[in-house]
A and B are shown apart, each in its own frame.
Chain A
Amino acid sequence: MSPDLSAAGAAEMQRLTAARALMRDGDAFALTRLEAEGPWIGIARPKLKRRLGGRRLEIWRVGYEDASGRLVESRLVVLAVDVGLDGARGFSPAEIDSVVDHATTEWRDAVARAQSSFASARLARETAIAASAARMRSAPVQTGLFDRREQRAHAAIEEVRRRVSEALAERRASVERAAALVATTPELLLVIAGAGRS
């Protein structure tokens, strides 16, 4: 099979080129710190504050984790939140969930499709490997009257085969586990607000 992914390759190259152009030294580390510490609030300068017009900007991240807790897909959702005169107005968690859910419906469907395809290819291969390993039969061994070397060699081969079968079963189980993604709760990462209005 010769898949034609030239259009996808070109689009991916454009996306990666843009991402590289955006990144500077230290950006990845700043993100690691942000993920460890919690939401960061930036104070808008007067010009930006005027443009926000009494709202604050919130950047949320929704994602999917695999069975080992690794974030495998994520999406940013940017919300402009009206802030009352006292600066205390915001969304309730339920409202956030609802808004984010609404904003990411298509993306979630796409994640489900992509994950299903990736996982089923892996599972099909693992299943075929297990079936092929199960079909392998060891050669019959002639028991010696006095010399046990042949039997010991045979036993050693069988032991390796048993270990490999166990490892294959374990790997297949881990592929099955990894196939099930868990949606994370929306996570507030960045806020930009006018001074005294966060």
Chain B
Amino acid sequence: MLVEKITTGSAEASRVTRGAIVRVRRARWRVVDVRPFDGCAIVTLAGVAPPHAGLERRVLTPFDTIEPINTTRRPRIVKAGAWTRACRALVAADAPPASLRSAARARIDLLGYQLEPALAIVRGLGCRVLLADEVGLGKTIQAGLIASELRERGAIDRLLVLAPAGLREQWIAELRDRFAIDATLLDAHSLRGIAAMLPIDLNPWTTMAAAVASIDYVKRPEVLPAAAACLWDLIVVDEAHASAAESDRRAAVHALCARASYVLLLTATPHNGDQRAFESLCAIGSVGDERDDPLLVFRRTRHDAGLAARRRVHTLRVRSSVDERRVHRALARYSRAVRAERGDACLALAVLHKRALSSAWALAESIDRRLAMLAAPGDGAAGEQLTLPMFDANGDFTPEDDAPAWPESVGLADADRERRLLGPIAEAARAAAARESKVAALNRLLRRIRESVVVYTEYRDTLQHLHALLLRPCIVLHGGLTREERSRALNAFVHRPGSVLLATDAAGEGLNLHHSCRTVINLELPWNPMRLEQRIGRVDRIGQGRTVHAFHLIADGTGELRILRRLRERIDAAKAAIGAPDPLAVAEVAIDEP
């Protein structure tokens, strides 16, 4: 049995052994383990008397005084009830080597496939895991199982969860309620509070045993050095596909993960049809070759998990109005002119077409901004400067649903000619925005669906326009909401049956809405198949007891049918590479009739 001397050289040096009964903070505890460091030790205690009975706590000596209580271990006769209780607990805890010790206590429904990643870790198959199960198969639970198992084994002390800003509370609640892990939300506000209580040279990140932070907050140049100066034992990267492409986000996540003992990458959509992005995702946190530092990949479908597929996908073709067709024709004229002058602008022009397919209103907003720039060319330089996060110190906002900046490579040398071409687009777009055919189709659809619905769109301005035009009252969820506003919106949606949630991809990612809703409507098709799967996955998850319905609204007579074909190709590529799910499968096509 281990005997560790816990002392700072004072006369009150005491010897604490595993199993010893001690008094700490006026309560009785049993010592579970003692982890010595220079001049101090972390002692894990289990409560042996109310009100701490059954609780586990960690204290740091000599800052907490530990007084051994002289109890002699001797046989004693006990009542049959106590004997039976202890016997039951002993038998229940008796497990073969490399079994999971914490899973029995976790507040989860036990599912075999969810235990596999944790088993792989405790069997020493690797230290980096890519959990790429289909949406809704419980990746958070699997990550929690790994975290609690490694904590139980004393293999990790510090846990960091990197998640999109909107999912931080969800992570904290899941870790607390299911695995009894108390994680702290770290943002500018909380770090300021923590730093105020610490000596000036102490990094507040190092004082947290379990923390949840937003990826976009951590990647900030003023934040990353402090976060990276702390050695994390386990880092969980939620929605890891967002950190796959070369970017500041990916660099920050890799910098942190490359020093972590264990790395968990969580994503339901690891492959968007781009092999390079997938390889970049797999390399996050990698520090050696595949032999020394293998990546364990878990990719299970509903079928693998023994869950029946109960999803019906409906493609609703919407007839475009005369004004809308005019918008697309005018935009095509402008695109031809730009391509004729600058052959390399095809990709950049796609941004404008995307805006047009989202809503005429969104396109009108973009065109108006461009016309304003052309009218006052000197102000253009101001738009190129990156904005400081002055109004978002905590990293609450998600800017991905903001209207994109006008692409640099899109424009004509002759400003007057460009104005002449853009003017009719803006005019037609404003006229079309007053009576958008997709909005009318959506109103008709919502009249028929009497239950809760999530309507997705890509851009915040489209969402706000939609909010103004829809006949049914709606709750909005977009990247410009604060933590509190977001929380209020979600609460309202969950607690009001029959409500409509208008959400952008950026704000809706990772949410669990399956208990209150089963229908998703996509106002426009996202160009990335992963987004499509992410959207439907909010309601198509374990625990969803009803058939899920997904509606795709496709504008006839526009380029959206081409997007549908392109999406199909990308989905097929991802399917061939990693068996990705098909969010367009079993589509039922219907024509929307006014």
Contacts and interface: CB of A to CB of B under 8 A. Distances in A.
B113 A1 contact: no
A101 interface: no
Interface of B: 1-2, 4, 17-19, 21, 30-36, 44, 46-48, 53-54, 71-78, 80, 82-100, 103-104, 110-116, 119-120, 122-128, 153-155, 225, 229, 231, 233, 258-259, 261-262, 287-288, 290, 292-299
A23 interface: yes
B301 to A, nearest CB: 13
B288 A74 contact: no
A74 B96 CA distance: 8
A147 interface: no
A189 to B, nearest CB: 7
A59 B90 contact: yes
A41 B97 CA distance: 28
Contacts of B225: 160
Residue among B72, B80, B116, B128 with max Cβ neighbours from chain A (10 Å): B116
B100 A38 contact: no
Interface in A184-198: 184-185, 188-192, 198
B43 to A, nearest CB: 9
Given A69-B1, A121-B126, A124-B293, A59 B87 contact: yes
A60 B85 CA distance: 16
A109 to B, nearest CB: 9
Contact of B30 (A36, A111, A184): A36
Interface stretch (A24-32, A80-88, A91-99, A137-145): A24-32
A184 B95 CA distance: 17
Interface residues of A, number: 91
A35 B1 CA distance: 14
Contacts of A167: 231
Contact of B90 (A13, A61, A71, A119): A61
B287 A43 contact: no
Nearest to A115: B97
Nearest to B46: A32
B91 A76 contact: yes
Contact of B97 (A39, A68, A71, A107): A107
Interface in A24-68: 24, 26-43, 45, 59, 61, 65-68
Given A3-B120, A122-B127, A69 B85 contact: no
A9 to B, nearest CB: 4
A40 B82 contact: yes
Contact of B75 (A35, A67, A117, A198): A198
A40 B76 contact: yes
Contact of A68 (B35, B78, B123, B292): B35
Contact of B288 (A66, A69, A128, A184): A128
Interface of A: 1-3, 5-6, 8-10, 12-13, 15-17, 19-20, 22-24, 26-43, 45, 59, 61, 65-76, 107, 110-111, 113-122, 124-129, 131-133, 160, 163-164, 167-168, 171, 174-175, 178, 182, 184-185, 188-192, 198
B456 to A, nearest CB: 31
Contact of A128 (B112, B123, B287): B287
Given A69-B17, A191-B75, A24 B116 contact: no
A5 to B, nearest CB: 4
Contact of B2 (A23, A67, A76, A189): A67
B231 A69 contact: no
17 contacts: A19-B104, A20-B110, A32-B30, A37-B71, A39-B73, A40-B76, A40-B83, A42-B78, A70-B154, A72-B153, A120-B124, A122-B155, A126-B261, A131-B287, A171-B261, A178-B155, A184-B1
Given A68-B154, A124-B293, A12 B231 contact: no
Contact of B21 (A36, A115, A164, A191): A36
A41 B75 contact: yes
A78 B87 CA distance: 12
Contact of B297 (A1, A28, A37, A42): A1
B296 A128 contact: no
Given A28-B54, A167-B231, 14 more contacts: A1-B297, A3-B120, A5-B119, A32-B47, A36-B19, A40-B86, A69-B2, A110-B98, A122-B124, A124-B127, A126-B261, A129-B258, A131-B287, A160-B229
A2 B112 contact: no
A75 B122 CA distance: 18
A16 B87 contact: no
B93 A19 contact: yes
B154 A66 contact: yes
Nearest to A175: B261
Given A70-B33, A129-B258, A132-B258, A38 B73 contact: yes
